[in-house]
Amino acid sequence: MKRRTGVFFILLFCLLLAGCVIIMYIDKSSRNTAPAGSPEMGMSIEERVNRLLAEMTLEEKIGQMTQADRSRITPGNVRDMKIGSVLSGGGSVPVPNTPESWRRMYNSYQAAALDTRLGIPLIYGIDSVHGHNNLNGATIFPHNIGLGAARDLELVEKVAEITTLETAATGLDWSFSPCVAVVRDIRWGRTYESFGEDPELQRLLTAAYIRGMQGPHNEMGGRYVVATAKHYVGDGGTVWGSGASGFYLDQGMTLISEEELREIHMPGYLEAIEAGVGSIMVSFSGFQGVKMHEHKYLITDVLKGELAFDGVVVSDWQGVEKLPGHSYYDRLVRSVNAGIDMFMEAYTWRDFIANLKWAVEAGDVSEERIDDAVRRILTLKFRCGLFDEPYRDENLLPIELIGSEEHRAVAREAVRKSLVLLKNENNLLPLAKDSTIYIAGSCADNLGYQCGGWTISWQGGSGKITEGTTIKEGIEMALSDAGRITDNIDEADAAVIVVGERPYAEGVGDSSTLSLLTADRRELEKARDSGKPTLVIMVSGRPLMISDYIDNLDAFVAAWLPGTEGQGVADVVFGDYNFTGRLPVTWPRDVSQIPINYGDEKYDPLFEYGAGLEMEL
- Which distant-in-sequence residues (6+ apart) come within 8 Å of 421 by Cβ? 429, 555, 556, 557, 579, 581, 612, 613, 614, 615
What whole-number distance in Å separates Cα of residue 338 and Cα of residue 341?
9
Q: What is the DSSP letter of 337?
A: H
- Note the residue count of the chain: 617
- Determine whether 316 is an active site residue: yes
3-state secondary structure of 86: strand
Q: What is the DSSP letter of 587?
A: B
What whole-number distance in Å separates Cα of residue 425 and Cα of residue 555?
6
Cα 497 to Cα 74, 97, 399, 520, 605: the distances in Å are 48, 34, 37, 8, 23
What whole-number distance in Å separates Cα of residue 215 and Cα of residue 202?
19
Give φ, ψ of 229 to 5 degrees. -85, 130
What whole-number distance in Å separates Cα of residue 304 and Cα of residue 311?
9
What whole-number distance in Å separates Cα of residue 297 and Cα of residue 282?
13
Q: Detail the DSSP E strand segments found in 441-590.
A: 484-486, 494-500, 534-539, 555-560
Q: Which of 179, 192, 181 is nearest to 227 (CA)?
A: 179
Cβ 296 vs Cβ 333: under 8 Å: no
Cα 463 to Cα 21, 96, 191, 470, 504: the distances in Å are 55, 19, 23, 10, 14
Q: Which of 499, 555, 552, 564 is nearest to 527 (CA)?
A: 552
DSSP string over 275-302:
TT-SEEEEPSSEETTEEGGG-HIIIIII
Q: Please identify which of the residues 127, 316, 445, 571 carries the catalytic annotation.
A: 316
Beta bridge partners of 342: 314
3 state SS for 291-332: EHHHCHHHHHHHHHHHCCCCCEEECCCCHHHHCCCCCHHHHH
Cβ 427 vs Cβ 421: under 8 Å: no
Query: Pairing relation of β-strands 312-314 and 286-287?
Result: unpaired
540-566: burial string, b at 16+ Cβ within 10 Å, e else: bbbbbbbeebbeebbbbbbbbbbbbbb
Enzyme catalytic residues: 316
